[in-house]
């Protein structure tokens, strides 16, 4: 029997050429998370895996909310929520990162403070246990915004972040996907257009957003996706919204998705529901698959996507976490 999820009150679920928007009012929350979008269906996920995904998402939400309930910052809540997902082999970030063509792991991360517009981003991380910590360290302790490769790792080590052997990131399932991609000589079908992310609104009204990813299976030439590109995969601005994206990064970069949603809210006075739904729907017509999560200044939750499913969830200041996987949840 499938694990039963709480019913989501927010839709904006996009698939193929159809748009389904919930008629119910979008819920309010202090934290919203995602664990990747893609070909996630009831026939592709076993009962036991469904339960594992749901429990990990719930744990992430509860950890993040505890920060906010204790008077902590939205930045800390985002970081803690993402770290929990990075520590799980279920998601394409941290421990569960996919492999490059050269059988290595190259991870990207970003975090942004909506109160100050300060941001930190890193790419090409290969030995730091929690890549989101690198992004946070850049935000807090660097005059720069975006660090890469060996320089990012040197900085992370100087900041005292935990370094691990590359074997820590090995998972047989992800390695098998790499071998499949190499054998077929084409891009492997992405079960998840993988990324994890979080957006939080703290009790001082400050928004923050963060995102972390292992990238694409079989990627080459130091490819970088949208996650560490501020305004593409990650964006936060007080009074407007916080957004974290997941999907085919090239498209999210080309169309500056996260900032586009914010700009529609700020300058065109659209609601976050309208702005996020329109952007993700239009992205699909351009060939871009994926989705976003977001909160506006009042804590309104959005989670639109244009694939079959997206691992996602939110939590209010009081009450139980709400999680879902599929398009019909």
Query: CA-CA distances (angstroms) from residue 290 to 19, 125, 169, 250?
Result: 14, 23, 24, 11
**Helix (H) or strand (E) run with residue 234 in it:** strand 234-237
Query: Which residues, listed in sequence order, are joined to residue 33 by a DSSP beta bridge?
Result: 198, 313
The CA distances from residue 22 to 7, 31, 46, 328, in Å, are 12, 20, 27, 11
- Report CA-CA distances (Å) from 142 to 113, 146, 158, 161: 14, 9, 11, 14
Q: Which residue in 195, 211, 234, 277 is the catalytic one?
A: 195
287 DSSP 8-state letter: T
Is 195 considered catalytic here? yes
**Which sign does the torsion angle of CA 298, 109, 12, 251 carry?**
positive
CA separation (Å) from 150 to 47, 78, 124, 154, 157? 41, 25, 8, 6, 10
Are β-strands 309-315 and 322-326 bridged in parallel, bridged antiparallel, or unpaired? antiparallel
CA distance 275 to 280: 9
Question: How far apart are alpha carbons 244 and 232 in whole angstroms?
Answer: 9
- Tokens linked to 208: 């923050």
- Catalytically active residues, by annotation: 195
């Amino acid at each position: 029997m499938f694990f039963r999820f709480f019913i989501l009150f927010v839709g904006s679920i996009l698939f193929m050429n159809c748009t389904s928007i919930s008629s119910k009012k979008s819920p309010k929350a202090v934290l919203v998370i995602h664990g990747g979008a893609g070909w996630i269906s009831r026939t592709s996920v076993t009962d036991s895996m469904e339960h594992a995904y749901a429990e990990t998402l719930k744990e992430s939400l509860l950890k993040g909310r505890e920060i906010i309930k204790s008077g902590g910052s939205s930045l800390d809540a985002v970081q803690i929520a993402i770290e929990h997902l990075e520590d799980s082999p279920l998601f394409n970030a941290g421990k569960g990162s996919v492999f490059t063509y050269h059988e290595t792991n190259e991870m990207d991360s970003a975090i942004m403070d909506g109160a100050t517009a300060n941001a930190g981003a890193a790419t090409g991380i290969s030995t730091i246990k929690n890549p989101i910590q690198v992004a946070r360290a850049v935000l807090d302790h660097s005059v720069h915004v975006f660090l890469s490769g060996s320089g990012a790792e040197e900085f992370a080590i100087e900041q005292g972040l935990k370094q691990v052997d590359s074997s820590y990131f090995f998972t047989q399932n992800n390695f098998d996907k790499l071998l499949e991609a190499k054998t077929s000589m084409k891009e492997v079908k992405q079960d998840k257009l993988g990324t994890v992310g979080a957006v939080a609104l703290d009790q001082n009204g400050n928004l923050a957003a963060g995102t972390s990813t292992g990238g694409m299976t079989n990627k080459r030439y130091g490819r970088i996706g949208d996650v560490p590109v501020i305004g593409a995969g990650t964006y936060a601005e007080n009074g407007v919204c916080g957004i974290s994206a997941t999907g085919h990064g090239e498209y999210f970069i080309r169309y500056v998705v996260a900032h586009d949603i914010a700009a529609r809210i700020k300058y065109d006075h659209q609601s976050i529901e309208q702005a996020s739904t329109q952007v993700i729907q239009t992205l699909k017509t351009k060939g871009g698959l994926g989705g976003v999560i977001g909160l506006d200044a009042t804590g309104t939750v959005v989670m639109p996507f244009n694939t079959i499913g997206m691992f996602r969830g939110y939590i209010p200041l009081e009450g139980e976490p709400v999680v879902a996987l599929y398009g019909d949840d």
